[in-house]
Each structure stands twice: as structure tokens, then as C-alpha cells.
């Protein structure tokens, strides 16, 4: 049995979009985390919701390369160690966004990040847990 489980759901009370992380030992739940955010009243500028998109796992052979890519992006860009490397990690041709305030594409992302970049180059302070299931990072 897997040590962690992460269901993503549209929750009735609220209404909210959320995810739960459960940790197991000996076949029983021993720990739980959750994160909830209100369901957006409208789609983002690209016409996406908070929970649509691809859910089929493919290209499993790229798992290790994808882990390296995401860890580099988090360390360099989100942790603020080398934010100028952002385009080393993102596709200039295809960048799909599910953030409720940001549209698709690098230009839209840049416009959204611009005000934050002027204040600080660090969005994350600490990564507490990495969880990988095939090629999905939670």
C-alpha cells in the first residue's frame, strides 16, 4: 500500500475546491492534511477552472527528469535563488494555467508575477514534503 494518498475534490460545504493528504502506517490513517479554497465564481482568463485538465498519467519513463525539473523550478524560481532562470523551466509555446486570476501563456504569467517580483523574488519559504506518484507532484 502507498504511504500517502492525495484526493483532489470539489467539496460541498463552502463550496470549496480542496485536497487532502493522508499518511498511512500498517494499513491505517495516521496523519492528515488538507487545503481548501473557494470555488471561483468564473473561469480564469483562459477559460479554465480550478480542477479541469489532463488526469491521465503518461510518459512514465520521464518521471526522474520531471522530478529534477520541478525541484529546480521550485528552488530557483519559487524559493528565489535564481528567479531569472524561469524560462529554463517553462514552455514558451504551451503553458496552461489553472490559477483563477491568471490566463494561459508566458505573457499572462509574467503580468501576474510582475507585482510580486518587484517586492521580492521569493514566493515559497520552505518545502515541507515532496510526494511523487509516477509523474505527478503533489
17 class by beta-carbon count within 10 Å (0-12 exposed, 13-18 middle, 19+ buried):
buried
- In terms of pTM, does the model score above 0.85? no
* Per-residue three-class SS string for 50-80: CCCCCCCCCCHHHHHHHHHHHHHHHHHHHCC
User: Residue 43 pLDDT > 90, yes or no?
Assistant: yes
Phi, psi of 37 (to 5 degrees): -140, 145
8 A C-beta contact, residue 52 and residue 96: no
Helix H or strand E encompassing 118: helix 106-119
The answer to whether 51 and 34 have CB atoms below 8 angstroms apart is no
Mean pLDDT of 6-23: 68
> For residue range 71-90, what is the model confidence (pLDDT) as tens digits?
888 888 877 788 889 899 98
Residue 89, all three cell numbers: 523551466
Cα distance between residue 91 and residue 123, in whole Å: 20
Amino acid at each position: 500500500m502507498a504511504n500517502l494518498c492525495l484526493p483532489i475534490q470539489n467539496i460541498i460545504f463552502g463550496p470549496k475546491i480542496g485536497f487532502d493528504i493522508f499518511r498511512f502506517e500498517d494499513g491505517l490513517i495516521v496523519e492528515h492534511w488538507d487545503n481548501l479554497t473557494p470555488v471561483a465564481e468564473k473561469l480564469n482568463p483562459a477559460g479554465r477552472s480550478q480542477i479541469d485538465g489532463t488526469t491521465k498519467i503518461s510518459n512514465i519513463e520521464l518521471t526522474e527528469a520531471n522530478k529534477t525539473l520541478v525541484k529546480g523550478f521550485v528552488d530557483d524560481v519559487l524559493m528565489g535563488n535564481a528567479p531569472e532562470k524561469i524560462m529554463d523551466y517553462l514552455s514558451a509555446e504551451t503553458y496552461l494555467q489553472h490559477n483563477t486570476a491568471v490566463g494561459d501563456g508566458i505573457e499572462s504569467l509574467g503580468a501576474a508575477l510582475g507585482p510580486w517580483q518587484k517586492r521580492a523574488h521569493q514566493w515559497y519559504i520552505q518545502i515541507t514534503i515532496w510526494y511523487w506518484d509516477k509523474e505527478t507532484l503533489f
